[in-house]
């Protein structure tokens, strides 16, 4: 990341991340497609509404992984290989501990959380069943995410892609076998997903133990290093808190959608699956930007970091708007893939045509956040996103829905809050001396 063409390095790094995320997205989408077509709209509602709750549970841990990735990439860029080794093994220790904790908490609190989300009674039993099995496989998911983050922070986005392709194909085959073949219902879809998680996690972890270099994993070395853990948490906690609280806000949004019944849940859930696919190119660019900025700042190549940030922002915005336009035009056909009920399709299309043309705003916010995280300024995205995507979003929905009880009011919460966060990010980004004058910042640090 610190040598050669900036655009080529970012694109070639982002492409495998995109393809990997694409296959990872197939986990839930395959569940929804197969469940929706074989088991009906009630089962589809149980599975399709899973995204916000799952991310609320794992978002905090994934935020800490982002902090770990920044630390690893910084030390790698500075050629501090002993510290890379320590950071890798501390990150793995954290991931294993987090996986065990998430398994217990997820299984125990799922029923209470689903009731707090006002899940309809006809959907509740299937939702509880699906989520409990899903969280029973948390360890596989955490091991994969930890291992993938280590690969990517070192500039290797190919190996995580390979393992996701394998596990995604297995997931789809098992979905058909368990749901369509054995008639197992939503528990079959959840079981297929966790088997795939363990497969991808096992493959990635095994590869790490067979590498050469500072990020090779030695099982006996997996332990917490107090100083390194402190560094990781200082950078990762703001993002983790941000992820969890924003996910909580989205759970509140989902609970308001749930009030409109299982048809609304199925239609909106189908749109969110499509949005997950549609935004993958942009999120991949943002992840590439974080690694690019981290490595170049570690190598003290400040002007290169600045030029990479500019390229990432422009590319991300243009790509987001192109994807949004495609989804806007083809929304009816795409939503109907999940369920043929005209009412379900109408809800999904209505949400798509409310939000998709504003994807450029969401891209801008994510690009700014990715750059700031790579530079170690993780608290700034946390504050901006907490205010805009959590506090304002919840206040807006709580007030406006009571006045205008229309589901479209809920859909508008997203473009409105994306606009606000983009404005705040832009103000900070373009006024921040540290971002546009990296070399000056370095001189000040050396003079201290």
Give the pLDDT confidence score for residue 199 in this predicted structure. 94
| Choice between 75 and 412, residue whose per-residue pLDDT is larger | 412
- Answer yes or no: is pLDDT of 445 > 50: no
Q: What is the pLDDT of residues 345-397, one digit of tens each?
A: 899 899 999 999 999 999 999 899 888 888 878 788 888 988 998 889 889 98
Distance, CA of 383 to CA of 361 (rounded, Å): 18
Which residue is it, tokens 């373009």? 430
| Residue 369, number of CB atoms within 10 A of its CB | 25
- Answer yes or no: is pLDDT of 166 > 50: yes
Task: Say which residues have a Cβ less than 8 Å from residue 34's Cβ, sequence separation at least 6.
Answer: 175, 176, 179, 180, 189
Spell out the domain ranges in the chain. 6-441
- Choose the most confident range, by mean pLDDT, from 6-10, 56-60, 180-184, 318-322: 318-322
Residues 181-199 have a mean pLDDT of 86
Q: What is the pLDDT of residues 88-127, one digit of tens each?
A: 999 999 989 989 998 998 888 888 877 876 777 777 788 8
CA nearest to 430, candidates 368, 379, 338, 385: 368
Confidence of residue 172 (pLDDT cuts 50, 70, 90): confident
- Choose the most confident range, by mean pLDDT, from 119-128, 231-240, 287-296, 410-419: 410-419
How high does pLDDT run on average in the chain? 82
Specify the pTM: 0.69
Q: What is the pLDDT of residues 399-427, one digit of tens each?
A: 988 898 888 899 999 999 999 999 999 99
CA nearest to 1, candidates 74, 88, 65, 66: 74
Give the pLDDT confidence score for residue 44 in this predicted structure. 67
> Percent of the chain having pLDDT more than 70?
89
């Amino acid at each position: 990341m610190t040598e050669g063409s900036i655009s080529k390095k970012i694109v070639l790094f982002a492409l495998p991340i995109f393809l990997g995320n694409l296959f990872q997205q197939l986990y839930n989408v395959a569940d929804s497609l197969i469940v929706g077509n074989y088991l009906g709209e009630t089962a589809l509602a149980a599975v399709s509404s899973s995204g916000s709750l799952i991310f609320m549970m794992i978002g905090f841990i994934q935020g800490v992984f982002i902090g770990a990735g920044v630390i690893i990439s910084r030390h790698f860029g500075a050629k501090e290989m002993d510290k890379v080794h320590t950071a890798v093994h501390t990150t793995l220790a954290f991931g294993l501990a987090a996986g065990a904790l998430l398994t217990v908490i997820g299984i125990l609190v799922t029923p209470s959380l689903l009731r707090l989300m006002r899940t309809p009674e006809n959907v509740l039993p299937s939702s509880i069943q699906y989520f409990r099995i899903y969280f029973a496989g948390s360890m596989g998911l955490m091991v994969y995410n930890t291992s993938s983050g280590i690969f990517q922070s070192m500039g290797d986005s190919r190996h995580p892609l390979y393992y996701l392709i394998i596990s995604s194909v297995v997931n789809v085959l098992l979905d058909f076998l368990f749901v369509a073949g054995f008639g197992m219902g939503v528990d079959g879809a959840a079981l297929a997903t966790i088997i795939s998680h363990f497969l991808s996690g096992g493959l990635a972890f095994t590869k790490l133990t067979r590498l050469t270099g500072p990020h090779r994993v030695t099982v006996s070395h997996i332990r917490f290093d107090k100083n390194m853990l402190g560094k990781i948490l200082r950078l990762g906690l703001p993002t983790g808190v941000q992820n969890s609280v924003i996910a909580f806000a989205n759970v509140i949004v989902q609970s308001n959608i749930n009030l409109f019944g299982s048809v609304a849940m199925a239609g909106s859930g189908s749109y969110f699956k499509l949005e997950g696919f549609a935004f993958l190119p942009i999120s991949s660019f943002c992840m590439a930007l974080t690694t690019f900025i981290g490595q170049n700042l570690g190598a003290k190549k400040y002007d290169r970091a600045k030029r990479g940030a500019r390229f990432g922002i422009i590319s991300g915005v243009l790509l987001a708007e192109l994807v949004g336009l495609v989804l806007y035009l083809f929304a009816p056909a795409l939503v109907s893939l999940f369920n043929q009920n005209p009412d379900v399709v109408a809800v999904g299309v209505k949400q798509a045509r409310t939000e998709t043309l504003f994807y450029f705003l969401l891209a801008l916010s994510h690009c700014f956040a990715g750059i700031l995280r790579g530079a170690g300024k993780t608290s700034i995205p946390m504050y901006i996103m907490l205010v805009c995507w959590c506090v304002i979003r919840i206040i807006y929905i709580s007030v406006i829905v009571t006045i205008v009880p229309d589901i479209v009011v809920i859909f508008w919460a997203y473009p409105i809050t994306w606009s606000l966060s983009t404005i705040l990010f832009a103000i900070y980004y373009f006024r921040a001396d540290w971002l546009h004058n990296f070399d000056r910042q370095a001189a000040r640090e050396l003079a201290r």
